[in-house]
Chain A
């Protein structure tokens, strides 16, 4: 049994130690908001926060999570930065297919949480690991800036 703290809840899961957190979330716990895109830390669709830091859950062995708090897209709206990001995302109609957006929002919320006034360069650094195949990048940038002002 591996003990996890997910969105503030204690969970015990009986899974292999090397199983990536992504599949524990999706297939064992049933939190499907976190997406699978590449499985090799290239696309960011699987981004969750570990103690507030964005991580690619597709390559994160569940056993290495330890006592760190896992936050997923389902709960990010409860954080001040997450709420601002979600609001700006909707206000600027960032989203197209939406499949990458859980990851985008998790990365953007983590950025805003630590850096209340990110520059373009900060946004480049924080967001370039998240691919959007629908090409919503210009709106993502604008929405982060709008959220920073909110």
Chain B
């Protein structure tokens, strides 16, 4: 089923709203065992949006025509959430997935908040965990009301009626009524006070690889992403923000730009300038023709080396904020037979989803209409209200399908920018960032400088473990008003504070050192950073102890049954310990995050020129009850490749306050020819579902670091991995084989199409 290009016009709620910013309290809260619940688990019809005769709660609409619409609290950006959430409702509502239509919830922080995120947001691998109970309850409640309506119609006991595939049957007589025919009567039924959910063994849909709802329209260009929206009289704009972080716009000479055919307007903002044209090409050429003077400001001399030096200095000198301290850490460290220490450095990372930042806005005299794909619709709406000065209900936001989010669209600063541009003209504008703008004006995953140490006992196992994290506060950058200086931001230590090992004497702390760089969450959030350090270091300890890395972890997971479960499964399936050809190596990584456990083994080879080939990845996962196994596997495959891309290639660096990278040629993404074969094995589990969208991203870098060590004996502690450090052929030539393949088919076609010489040069 394809998504409509825009949802029905919404009269949004007047309820109290946090202007211009939600209260995302951090994904780490899940780790703290807080029970996720949706705010709207009780009957409460949505204001406006989808109307139907039977609207028992915020999620379900059944019309007298039999149309079943599910209003889903979390947005679809490729992770399969729409299908997963629809499955939860459908399971209890007793309908099949091809009987329902899934739509995005309108902005409404009251009805569609994910409690652990403190607002209406999709992120932190929380969707399925947060909706697991409430959506099944919503489905069951609606079904009970439909069944009650049918029983009343037939004057028979409810216990004689059964709902199945959208039809209620009276078993003794075989009489039947479809949900559509019951919609009016069901709406008059009282909401049941008690709802019993199905037993796991009775699941019809949960646990099956149901077809995705969102994909048929993605094979033929039919679906519309935010960037595809076209509204009457719309113009297209592209924008340049000050290339120096935090800088401002000075003067703009737009004479040449305005002379370009198709250029309509040049719009100045405080820190950016936009050119609006009849089409993107006119806007882009116009932008290139501007003569801009920037006011570079305080960051004009900022360089990556300074940022890392500041992190190192802070790590060594500043008083840390304690995340966890158990046992006699100092005493054990002094008494240790062997002490192992290491420092790890991680870079800033851009999200670079395939769909560049875009937003369609029409600011009319008294209202503002927005079409955008966002992970935080209510925050986006609030920001637009602020920029326009309109009350919230005069900001109509249509959420759109997203071409990849990975955390980028948890922030809505680009929506505010788009509204500020559109406010200056009378017509609707689609603002599209170039890829260069998208990479250079992202909010980045923070850089980190971590010092880690352990004391080993006579048996080689750690008797004490100390992990000092240093980096910026993502929450501090996110929450309006910042995050208290002396308070722990759980994200900074998530994945470090509670590694799935028996480590009774442990200290984990964090030195906060905020960079002058905008930062935010990135796929895998805290664990992507911390598990790289923990799992690389665990391998270092095994090596120091002269033990096999799996054997070593086995000894430390005696009281960690779920961790031990995935460890054993991956060891078995990967043939751990069996011989490999020269130049090859296997690396392992084990972690728990987002409520799921994962162990991954990567098999690689390293050539004498330092080139890394990824042969095979074997993953064992325990993510609790699996709602849709196929989607779980897709997320593991994709998440792993996402993490491998970063480990091999990704790093955002700064020179003179400007981002050095600009597009996919220098911010490399793994390509098809480089991807490993991936095998996934499940540990059967009846625990509540864990998150899965980010889990494998976390495994990638440490498994690769450990495989590189196994293949070469070299321990790489800085991301992305420097392949030149792996050379053994004596050449000093830079490693080359990973250069992006030139677009060969394009070259051929261009040659035959006789393009302008200027275009050929681009090849």
Within 8 A of B (CB), among A37-73: 37-45, 50, 53-56, 59-61, 63-66, 68, 72-73
Q: Please tell me if the beta carbons of B756 and A61 are within 8 angstroms of each other in the complex.
A: yes
Give 23 A-B contacts (CB < 8 Å), ordered by A residue. A15-B279, A16-B262, A23-B279, A27-B278, A27-B280, A38-B435, A42-B740, A64-B753, A77-B219, A89-B215, A90-B219, A95-B214, A97-B355, A98-B78, A128-B672, A128-B741, A129-B745, A130-B672, A132-B354, A132-B672, A135-B670, A135-B675, A138-B678
Whether the Cβ atoms of A32 and B634 lie closer than 8 Å is: no
Binding site for A on B (CB under 8 A): 77-80, 209, 211-212, 214-216, 218-225, 227-228, 230, 236, 261-262, 278-282, 352-356, 401-406, 432, 434-435, 630-631, 634, 637-642, 645, 663-665, 669-675, 677-678, 740-746, 748-750, 752-756, 759, 762-763
With contacts A64-B759, A74-B220 taken as known, whether A99 is within 8 angstroms of B355 at the C-beta atoms is yes
Q: In the bound complex, how far is the Cα of B743 from the Cα of A4, in angstroms?
A: 23
Please give, as numbers and ranges, the residues of chain A lying within 8 Å of B225 by CB-CB distance: 35, 99
Tell me the bound Cα distance from A55 to B763 in angstroms: 13
Q: Can you list the 3 inter-chain pairs with the closest CB atoms, starting with the nearest?
A: A33-B221, A97-B78, A99-B403
- Check if B762 sits within 8 Å of A135, measured CB to CB: no
**Cβ 8 A contact of B748, one of A53, A136, A138:** A53
* Interface mask (A1-36 → B, CB under 8 Å = 1, otherwise 0): 000000000000001101110010011101111111
A-to-B contact residues, CB < 8 Å: 15-16, 18-20, 23, 26-28, 30-45, 50, 53-56, 59-61, 63-66, 68, 72-74, 76-77, 86, 89-90, 93, 95-102, 105, 107, 110, 123-141
Give every chain A residue within 8 A of B79 (Cβ-Cβ).
Answer: 96
B673 CB contacts on chain A under 8 angstroms: 124-125, 127-128
In the complex, A48→B673 CA distance in Å?
A: 21
Output the residue of A30, A41, A139 with the most chain B CB within 10 A. A41
Bound-state CA distance A101–B762 (Å) is 24
A-side binding surface: helix, strand, loop or mixed?
A: loop
Query: Which of A40, A43, A68, A99 lies at the interface centre, i.e. has the most chain B CB atoms within 10 A of its CB?
Result: A99
Interface centre among A19, A131, A140, by most chain B C-beta atoms within 10 angstroms, is A131
Residues of the A chain whose Cβ atoms lie less than 8 Å from the Cβ of B671:
128-129, 131, 137
A34 touches B749 (CB 8 A): no
- CB-CB < 8 A to B261: which residues of A? 16
Q: CA–CA, A22 to B405, complex, Å?
A: 23
Residues of A within 8 A of B742 (CB): 129
Contact call A135/B640, Cβ cutoff below 8 A: yes
A39-B435, A66-B753 known; A98+B665 contact, CB < 8 A: no
Measured between beta carbons, the chain B residues less than 8 angstroms from A37 are 354-356, 435, 664
Q: Which residues of A contact B218 (CB under 8 A)?
A: 95, 98, 101
List residues of chain B with CB within 8 A of the CB of A123.
672
| Interchain CB contact (< 8 A) of A138 among B434, B637, B753 | B637
Shortest Cβ gap from B699 to chain A (Å): 13
Instruction: List, in ascending order, chain A residues with CB within 8 A of B432's CB.
Output: 36
Given A26-B280, A43-B664, A96-B634, also A61-B759 (CB < 8 A): yes
Q: How far is the CB of A15 from chain B (nearest CB, A)?
A: 8
In the complex, the answer to whether A97 meets B353 with C-beta atoms within 8 Å is: yes
Give bound CA distance, A96 to B278, whole Å: 32
What chain B residues lie within 8 Å of A20 (beta carbons)?
A: 281
Q: A66 CA to B640 CA in the complex, in Å?
A: 43
Nearest Cβ on chain A to B275's Cβ, whole angstroms = 14
**Given A36-B227, A99-B403 in contact, is the A27-B281 Cβ separation under 8 Å?**
yes
